[in-house]
Amino acid sequence: MREKHRDRDRRLPAGGSFAFRAHVALVGPMGAGKTTVGRLMSEQLALAFLDTDERIEVLAGMSVGLIFERSGEAAFRAMERDLLEALPAEPPSVIAAGGGLTAQPGNPERLRAVARTVFLDASPVELLARLGEAARRERPMVKGSSDPEARLQELLEARRESYQRAADARIFTDGMAPMEIAARAIELLKEVP
């Protein structure tokens, strides 16, 4: 299957050197594996791990779902932006960015300014399988959807350009194990000027 997808991962136009961008970030849709792969990469690179959704939940004292419910998506996106703007003061880390973080104006550029970034891409069918039934009921952006696969496709199409704008590299992750994705991401990031 790997031979069939020679273009499954590729480098995207890069900017800047690693010396100026100490963080490593993973972007992509929910279910792409950013948190799982990010934890593996943080261990392999001996860097701290930061999941933006988890950090926001700690700061807000409630789940992302409750933030959406009580304060709305705009309030959550403002929290994401604030977190992103604070990254230069944070020690080097592997960052699992929330699925919609790069879709907000200016965020792809903010992220690229401080991190080497990999876009973890996947098909809607794969994303749905990875999310599982419970997660599909809890994730605010698919919760209540009568057709979660179509909703994931819609989100992916709407956000793909922002993921690509933020990324130094892209990996099409369908059929890949988390450890394999982590190794490939590190390999690709070593090639970024």
What are 146-163's pLDDT values in tens digits? 666 777 788 788 889 999
The tens digit of pLDDT for each residue in 75-86 reads 999 999 999 999
The whole-angstrom separation of Cα 77 and Cα 64 is 11
CB 114 within 8 A of CB 89: no
Number of structural domains the chain divides into: 1
Provide the whole-model pTM: 0.82
pLDDT at 192: 78
Q: Do 163 and 118 form a contact (C-beta atoms < 8 A)?
A: no
Pairwise pLDDT comparison (46 vs 131), residue with the higher score:
46
What are residue 24's DSSP bridge partners?
Answer: 94, 116
Rounded-to-integer distance, Cα 18 and Cα 145, Å: 41
Task: Please state which of the ranges 75-79, 96-100, 115-119, 149-153 shows the lowest mean pLDDT.
Answer: 149-153
Mean pLDDT, the chain, as a whole number? 83
Q: What is the CATH number of the domain that holds 163?
A: 3.40.50.300
pLDDT band at 140 (very low <50, low <70, confident <90, very high): low
- What six digits make up the tokens of 145? 């959807």
Phi then psi for residue 171, to 5 deg, are -125, 125
Domain that holds residue 113: 3-190
* CB-CB neighbours of 111 under 10 Å: 25
Sequence-distant (≥ 6) Cβ neighbours of residue 89 within 8 angstroms = none
Report residue 30's pLDDT band, with 50, 70 and 90 as the boundaries: confident
